[in-house]
Structures are given as C-alpha cells and as structure tokens.
Amino acid sequence: MEKRRMIIDTAMVILLPFLMAYSLIGETNHEILGIAMGVLFITHHIFNYRWYKNLFHGRYTFIRILGTIINLLLTAAIVLQMISGILVSKHIFTFLSIPGTASISRMVHLLCAYWSFMLMSAHLGLHVRSMSARVGIHKRPGLFRALSVLFILISGYGIYAFIRRQIAEYLFMKTAFAFFDYSEPVIFFLADYLAVMILTATVFYYISSFASRTAKNSRKKPLKPRLIIILVLLAAAAVLFVTMGMPYIRRHFIPVKIDRSQAAAMAAIDFGDRKILTVQFTRVGNSAFDDDVAAVSSASLMKDGSTLVGNAELLAEMIRNAAGGDLYAITTEKKYPSSYKDTCGEALKELNSGEESVLLGDLPDTSVYDTVFLVYPIWWGTVPKPVESFLKQTDLSKAVIYTVVTHGGSREGSCIRDMKPMTSGTVSDNYLTVYDDDADTARDQIAAWLKTCASADAK
C-alpha cells in the first residue's frame, strides 16, 4: 500500500509540469495527461480517505491547520479544473461540451491550473518530511544535506522562473489567456516550472520544519478544529476576493475613462517620404453594444465621455498622429454581440468554421502604400477573422507591414507567424504588443517603437 501510494504521488509530481505546458505538448496530449491526472487524483484520495474521516477529530496544530486549508483548496481547485477541462475539451470530451460555457470554462481552467500547481507544490512540501522518512533519507545525513543544498539552489532559480513566467499574473487573474512561446524548446518551460515547484515545496518544507520545532516547545491549548477551519477559510475567501475578485471586477465590468485627444496626442516622427497607411480592427466599431454595456461586460473597453473607444482604435490613432498618412478601420457586416463572453464564443466559431468575414464599405487602394501599420486585438491566440479577410483581399505587395497586437495577457501568440501566408505584403518581425490595460497610457511605448520602424528601410 505504502509503495503504491508513493508511485501515485510521484506520477502526479512528474505529470504536473507537463500539464502546465498545455499546447506546447499538443492539445490532445494535454487532454490525455489531464485524464491521467484526474485518475491519479481520485486514486490518491481513495488511498488517503482516512484524512477526511479524521478531519473533525484530534488536535489542530498550526501545521495541521495549514495542511488542511491547502488540501481543501487544492481539492476544490482540481475538481473545478476537471469540470472546466471537460467543458473546454476540443478533442476527447467534445460530446460533453455545453454551448455558451466555453469562455468562462477556459478562464476557470486557467485560473485553477495555476492555483492547483502552487497548492500541489505546497502540499508536496508539507509532506517531504514524511516522504523522506519513508524512503530512509533522514538516516543518511550526508545525502540529506546534499539534497537540501541542491533544492535551495534550484529554489533560487525558481524565484527567477516565477517572475519570468509571470506566474503571479495568472494566479491573480491579471491575465485571462495563457502565453506560450512556441519557438522555445519545451524542456526550458518544463525546467522553469519544475524549479517553481521545488521553490514552493522547499518554502513549505521549511515552514513545516520550523512549526514542528516550535510546536514541541509550546504548551498552548488548541482551539476547536471546526472553528479554526471556518475562520481560516473565511479569511482565505476574503483575501481571494480582494486580490482576485476586485481587480477582475474593475477590469471587466467598468470601462476606463479617458480623454481621447489627450491620450492619442503624439509628437511627429519623421518617416521621410514614405506612403503610410494605418489600419485598425477593434471590437468597439464592430459590436452591437447594449446601452448598459458597462453592466453587461466591457472587458478592456475605454470611454471618452459617452463614446466607447477600442484599444486598437486608440493605438492606431496614436500611430497616425505620430507617423502621419491615412487611417482605415476594418468594419464587418456582422456585428459582434455586446457581451465579451459571447463575442469570445462567436470568434471561436468563426475560427473553427474557417469562413471569411464580409467586410463593409470599399477597401482602400492599398497598392500605393509602402508602409502599413496594422493594429488589432489577438483573438484566441491568433489573427481575428476580419483582419485575415482584409489581408487576403488587399494588395500589399509594395508594403512592409508593422503589426501592433493588443492582448489580454498572451502577447502576440501565433499572430505574426499566422499573418505571413495571409498577405502579399512583407510582415516585419519588428512588431509591438500592448497589454489591454495599458492601451490608454501606451504613448511612450508606441513612440519608441515607431522610431525603430522609421529607421528601417522601406521595401
């Protein structure tokens, strides 16, 4: 039994970083590994069912309280992750998908994935002492010391990896879309996540060691376990609401107020005699917004007085104000829904169907331009269908295309790579990404980038 428990636990630890790699290992593989993790998770619970039986019995020390909270949160996160995983499945559980739940399930899945990852690592850290006792490492002080030094060194790198991979942003929902660098070897990704796991486990290992040492010296009467669990869960819920709920509400339900002319005011940048066209596509000009859009869902929208302004729209205005030339807005015959969530669903349908978008109005004669700035939001990791249609229907053979991708966390995804076969123009690798929350304050970022475009040769 002991041995089987060890095998299950080790398999879960090995699987975890692979699962975090999501599309880097292939979406189907991700789903298969997700199922394997689900099976291991259930088996782990069957083997450890006594933990639930004893939940309301015995003395609650600090370390038991901490362990209980971590376990309960981890169980909740994994259960939510499994349910949302089934709902967003694109390969194995497609028959179980429920219309209208895709975007919320994706968000829950991403959020729970990061919390499960951190909580599972913490859970591991709290059990390192008992696990090392089981395999007898504590009886070999030399080996124990060598491993401690190794884990502390890896933890040092783990701090760097935690920052570099922006893990806090996922945990606190600053970003709703996962970013993957497809040009990076998967092994680097796995190594970074393993280092973060080791960092978290090491921190919790030392917390448990320290607490058990101090507990031996303490004679305090323990509080009633039920009361402690309730109080601490309430405190955890309050912290989660303040750290995650509030920023989410602020970002997704209240449009940011701007003064459009001030936000887009730019000093001129010299592009010589280049023929410049700035093209933008935004959700704002292409959605049938309800009057109370702020209450429905206004993720990343800005408002100048009573006028809604899209991120791409404002960024394109900044570019035109600095670089001069003409400005063109891509508009679609179809209007996207008012709700952000429904727009995500609609956009996904378009991508899956592969149908071209019907664009409104006459397209500009793009053949006369040698420099095109194309500004658009990333949709589902790639180029929105209307932008793709614009690129396919216009002659940009004389132009270098400088792209600005605005995003909610995943940066350019595969936009630049995907654009290249869609157009006769030359897609420059000198592109810019602007985080949606930063659109109204992106003037300096845009100016610095435009200068690099101005110094490059025209086609």
Ligand X SMILES: Cc1cc2nc3c(=O)[nH]c(=O)nc-3n(C[C@H](O)[C@H](O)[C@H](O)COP(=O)(O)O)c2cc1C
Taking CA atoms, 262 is separated from 257, 304, 440, in Å, by 12, 10, 10
CB of 378 to ligand X, least distance (A): 5
Find the binder of ligand X among 379, 390, 402, 449 (CB under 6 A).
379
CA angle 300, 276, 408 (to 5 degrees): 15
287 touches ligand X by CB under 6 A: no
The alpha carbon of 185 is separated from its chain's Cα centroid by a whole number of angstroms, namely 19
Find the binder of ligand X among 34, 381, 386, 425 (CB under 6 A).
381
Find the binder of ligand X among 79, 228, 380, 454 (CB under 6 A).
380
Residue number with CB closer to ligand X (225 or 381): 381
Q: How many residues bind ligand X (CB under 6 A)?
A: 24
Stretch that binds ligand X, among 158-166, 251-259, 373-381, 389-397 (CB under 6 A): 373-381
177 touches ligand X by CB under 6 A: yes
377 touches ligand X by CB under 6 A: yes
283 touches ligand X by CB under 6 A: yes
Residue number with CB closer to ligand X (122 or 312): 312
CB of 249 to ligand X, least distance (A): 16
CB of 401 to ligand X, least distance (A): 18
Residue number with CB closer to ligand X (377 or 386): 377
CB of 350 to ligand X, least distance (A): 9
- N-terminal to C-terminal alpha carbon distance within the chain: 70
CB of 125 to ligand X, least distance (A): 32
CB atoms within 10 A of CB 260: 17
Residue number with CB closer to ligand X (105 or 202): 105
332 touches ligand X by CB under 6 A: no
Residue whose entry in the numeric block shows the structure tokens 């593989």: 29
Could you give the string, one character per residue 419-438, with x where binding to ligand X holds by CB under 6 A and - elsewhere? -----------------x--
**Binding to ligand X, residues 84-143 (CB under 6 A):** none
Find the binder of ligand X among 167, 173, 211, 344 (CB under 6 A).
344
CB of 177 to ligand X, least distance (A): 3
Stretch that binds ligand X, among 77-85, 189-197, 281-289, 416-424 (CB under 6 A): 281-289
Residue number with CB closer to ligand X (84 or 343): 343
Residue number with CB closer to ligand X (41 or 390): 390
Q: d(Cα 223, Cα 69) in Å, to the nearest integer?
A: 16
Pairing of strands 432-435, 400-407: parallel
Q: d(Cα 442, Cα 267) in Å, to the nearest integer?
A: 13
CB of 439 to ligand X, least distance (A): 6
Residue number with CB closer to ligand X (77 or 347): 347
Stretch that binds ligand X, among 13-21, 24-32, 249-257, 278-286 (CB under 6 A): 278-286
Beta carbons of 359 and 393 less than 8 angstroms apart: yes
**Binding to ligand X, residues 383-422 (CB under 6 A):** 406-410, 413
Stretch that binds ligand X, among 120-128, 246-254, 268-276, 337-345 (CB under 6 A): 337-345
Find the binder of ligand X among 68, 71, 202, 282 (CB under 6 A).
282
Q: For binding to ligand X (CB under 6 A), which residues are involved?
A: 177, 282-284, 300, 310-312, 340, 343-344, 347, 377-381, 406-410, 413, 436
